[in-house]
Chain A
């Protein structure tokens, strides 16, 4: 017991001495780890969020029935009436031409020249429809049913958009993955170098330790702990940054009037916890790998 306490005290002391020795290098390594794992965390959360959002859309939370721009009032009302009385339909929302124009205005706020080409009268009014059961097949059959009604111009189930968005997220995921790998490698190399410097600074102690019969793992452990500590610090900073960014992005999307899709672009709290833990662990692993390589390379019997 006292032996264990003695060892723990020894490792704590030695690790702390190493950390203090080179503060600038330490900070650089921690920040690199932080940025790298932050990307990993964000990538993971984006993956969850897109899966959540896509799942909801694919299941078909809603679809949209566009009417002819010059639809007769009676035809529009007839469609509305049928929707309201339909047993499979939960609720509907009518979007007037003016409202449609407003939405477009928001969407094209940076491209006024495009907006200039459309007029209120040229836009189709529409019904946004939320079915009682969110199920792809039901939606497709409902869509087919209403496509036949007079005055209906088209029915959008969102399937094409969902496919396009999924593709976009897939490439985004790959880019994030690639960047995280590059940054993780860079941080592991920085930590590798730090541990090498630390070991060189302590070469006399290491020489004496070998002389009196300390095992290699005993000699290495404080250095590996040091690397893991840096990784942990970077992981925590990165996870915090990812958390802040997540709130920011969700806030932004939550207000989005443009695309209901983005409003469902959120992660659940358990997914957030998973992503955070994965982020921190990633930091620790990067630190452990960098330092373990260094400790192995610069220590021979």
Chain B
């Protein structure tokens, strides 16, 4: 599902954010990307969505070689990838329902699909009763669940989460992890960047550890370190 071949990413100004990484992630896997701040986790996720071009090496996502893909095809690639962030990126002037529906509307999904999919996904994340609320009326955990609903409403093959529990208290973080686990069990490949040791140790999933842009450890059912 995801394959990196000897990938290097150097930002303008000579920062070597990813340094010769090779990695293979199969369909349906749940992978933790761990490492301290600045180790290259976010950069790795941005390479997978083609937000940043690689400097060297090859990135394959959902069967596409991102180095070869036409720029006009990038949006279609992104429809196969859901993204979740530490800061939620919800639109404050839209309700919970509208925030999720927006993701379908802007890729041209028909109204009847929007009308059935949005309530269904809000049910899945347990927010049916908050459809008409605005983001600033929700707790952090609820906001993150809205953002997960938005990322997953189009049933992507891959879900990328960049420190999704970074702004949440431990109990709320647990809820989010249960939700991501459920999504993973539907066959969705999940890659989650985090430096939350408790969560990683408790889930016992594959762990890829980065340091200075290099993979220093790759363990099935691993722990934080």
B111 contacts A by Cβ under 8 Å: yes
Contact between A213 and B108, CB atoms less than 8 A apart = no
A-B contact pairs, 5 of them (CB 8 A): A3-B108, A204-B89, A208-B150, A215-B76, A216-B72
Contact between A6 and B114, CB atoms less than 8 A apart = yes
B177 contacts A by Cβ under 8 Å: no
Q: A207-B89, A301-B74 are in contact. Are A212 and B110 (CB under 8 A)?
A: no
| B interface residue numbers (CB < 8 A to A) | 49-50, 71-72, 74-79, 81, 83, 89, 91, 102-103, 105-112, 114, 150-151, 154
Closest 9 CB pairs of A and B: A213-B78, A213-B79, A3-B110, A214-B106, A6-B111, A212-B103, A213-B75, A2-B110, A2-B111
A5 contacts B by Cβ under 8 Å: yes
A249 contacts B by Cβ under 8 Å: no
Chain A residues positioned under 8 Å from B78 (CB to CB): 210-213
Chain A residues positioned under 8 Å from B74 (CB to CB): 301
Q: Annotate A189-213 by CB proximity to B: 1 below 8 A, 0 otherwise.
A: 0000000000000001101111111
Query: How far, in angstroms, from A215 to B106 measured CA to CA in the complex?
Result: 8
Chain B residues positioned under 8 Å from A7 (CB to CB): 108
Contact between A6 and B105, CB atoms less than 8 A apart = yes
- A210-259 contacts to B, CB under 8 A, are 210-216, 218-219
Contact between A301 and B108, CB atoms less than 8 A apart = no
Chain B residues positioned under 8 Å from A205 (CB to CB): 91, 102
Most buried by B among A6, A7, A205, A211: A211
A10 contacts B by Cβ under 8 Å: yes
Query: How far, in angstroms, from A159 to B222 measured CA to CA in the complex?
Result: 100
Contact between A218 and B111, CB atoms less than 8 A apart = no
Most buried by A among B103, B106, B150: B106
Query: How far, in angstroms, from A301 to B151 measured CA to CA in the complex?
Result: 19
Query: How far, in angstroms, from A207 to B83 measured CA to CA in the complex?
Result: 12
Contact between A211 and B89, CB atoms less than 8 A apart = yes
| A interface residue numbers (CB < 8 A to B) | 2-3, 5-7, 10, 204-205, 207-216, 218-219, 301
Chain B residues positioned under 8 Å from A5 (CB to CB): 111
Contact between B106 and A212, CB atoms less than 8 A apart = yes
| Nearest neighbor of B103 in chain A, beta-carbon distance | A212
Query: How far, in angstroms, from A222 to B151 measured CA to CA in the complex?
Result: 23
Nearest CB of chain A from residue B151's CB, rounded to whole Å: 8
Query: How far, in angstroms, from A219 to B89 measured CA to CA in the complex?
Result: 17
Chain B residues positioned under 8 Å from A210 (CB to CB): 75, 78
| Nearest neighbor of B104 in chain A, beta-carbon distance | A212
Chain A residues positioned under 8 Å from B79 (CB to CB): 212-213
Query: How far, in angstroms, from A216 to B81 measured CA to CA in the complex?
Result: 17
**CB < 8 Å neighbour of B154 from A6, A212, A216:** A212
Q: A2-B110, A3-B111, A214-B107 are in contact. Are A301 and B71 (CB under 8 A)?
A: yes
Nearest CB of chain A from residue B31's CB, rounded to whole Å: 20
Query: How far, in angstroms, from A5 to B111 measured CA to CA in the complex?
Result: 8
Nearest CB of chain B from residue A210's CB, rounded to whole Å: 7
Chain B residues positioned under 8 Å from A211 (CB to CB): 49, 78, 83, 89
Query: How far, in angstroms, from A214 to B78 measured CA to CA in the complex?
Result: 9
Query: How far, in angstroms, from A204 to B81 measured CA to CA in the complex?
Result: 19
Contact between A212 and B89, CB atoms less than 8 A apart = no
Chain A residues positioned under 8 Å from B76 (CB to CB): 213, 215
Nearest CB of chain A from residue B93's CB, rounded to whole Å: 9
Nearest CB of chain B from residue A8's CB, rounded to whole Å: 11
